[in-house]
Amino acid sequence: MKVKNICCIGAGFVGGPTMAVIAEKCPDIKITLVDKNKDKIKLWNDNDYKKIPVNEPGLISILKKVRNKNLFFSEDIDSAIVESQIIFLAVNTPTKHEGEGAGFAADLKFIDACTKNIAKVATNEKIIVEKSTLPVRTAERIKEIINNNNKHGVKFEVISNPEFLAEGTAIKDLYKSDRVLIGGDQTPSGKRAVTELVNIYKRWIPLKKILKVNVWSAELSKLASNAFLAQPISSINSLSSLSKVTDADIDEIAKAVGMDKRIGKHFLKVSPGFGGSCFQKDILNLVYLLRFYGLNEEANYWYGVIRINDNQRKRVSSIINQYFTDKKINKKVGLLGWSFKKNTNDTRESSSIYVAYNLLNQGFEVLIYDPLVDSKKIIEDLKEHNTNKNLFDSEGFLKSVHVMNTIDSITKSTKVLAIMTEWDEFKNIQKLSEEIKIFDFRNILEKSKTIFSF
């Protein structure tokens, strides 16, 4: 089969950049990116490219070349499904909040809904590609849903092609991937489906970097990779308290450990805790799987990574609170950075949300600035995080939240700032005034210029 049409369901941080790069590298293939969120699709189609909902260096330049040529953004999900030969599923898979596996397992309600719709609408042969982060055996679940809802007797193949993108460098990662993992059934039709996807990626990815595995290995590799990537962050954070009380230097420790070629230097950078859509969700999912199979010691180890991350957020909040208590000054602090890391507007599971919530609970007035995250998103994040309605109602505590447009506007109200995200522009704040007191929770400034750094 010659692939002429691709549909991707989910126009977010995975679907947008991935489809843009495929469109650029495969100009002969029509790609339609669909989403039920009409506002999101409208932003993707806006004449002002700065309004697109995903901020990734290099993405706008690609869109200028391919949008409305062979890459289209649409609300018409059904038509895109009917026209396509390959359908990518790139919808959100958050951690479950209720039911079996609540708090650990991935919530597959969006995957289920998309699959049911595909089965009902499709009228010809389809290859369904799992792009979202999913637990092991999700492909089996997708097949079962299809079998129960297949209205036209269409033949489907389900393959797994997990994304390994780092937000802020997603385009670079897509151009020069460490590896592209494609998992499918070890049947003749399953192998043919895998080959179709290989034929797309090999246009710009060397074949030696494209790994063909079984579908279960592909699904589990995604969880394992994020678990391994998250672990060094919590590992270095777990040593930051010990280094403080022993007068060791955490940056020197990180450098020494990072020079070990068996470990490497990546992620060995102290922080207020890891965030993003993948690490916590995937580790919790891995914990659930390990417990399900009775591997409790292994589960406890990986759950420890989450607990250390949670503890680091509480520790950051406590350090700020203790300073104000000791100084007996008005509890008003400026938080610099809301996204979970620089060069992205993604705030999912950002430590800034947790720290701000803790400080509000301790009676603080919190002033917030982020170069890419607007006030609407910041308020939404805090409202969503406020699950304890008995503690304080949403409108009540939000009176103590002020989203600012510049650092200078914060320093007019408070001289105490906390660096939460490692944005490059924050490296210059130590030049503002000697009156400014800085908590550097990213260790990006000279330590002599701060009142606290790890």
Task: Report, as residue numbers or ranges, the catalytic residues.
Answer: 278
Residues, the chain:
454
Q: Is the dihedral of CA 428, 431, 435, 438 positive or negative?
A: positive
Tell me how far CA of residue 153 lies from CA of 6, 72, 120, 156, 157, in angstroms: 21, 28, 10, 9, 13
Contact criterion met (CB below 8 Å) for 385 and 397: no
Please, are residues 57 and 168 in contact by the beta-carbon 8 Å criterion? yes
- 339 is written with which tokens? 């996204």
- Cβ pair 437, 415 in contact under 8 A: yes
Q: Which residues pair with 212 in a beta bridge?
A: 182
Q: Residue 309, exposed/middle/buried by CB under 10 A (0-12, 13-18, 19+)? A: buried
Residue 155 parent element (H or E)? none
Which 3 state secondary structure label does DSSP give 272? coil
Q: What single-letter amino acid sits at 222?
A: K
Burial of 287 (0-12, 13-18, 19+ CB in 10 A): buried
- DSSP output for 336-397: E--SSSTT----TT-HHHHHHHHHHHTT-EEEEE-SS--HHHHHHHHHHH---TTT--HHHH
Report how far residue 242's alpha carbon sits from residue 454's, in angstroms, rounded to the nearest whole number: 10
Query: How does DSSP assign 210-257, residue by residue?
Result: EEEEEHHHHHHHHHHHHHHHHHHHHHHHHHHHHHHHTT--HHHHHHHH
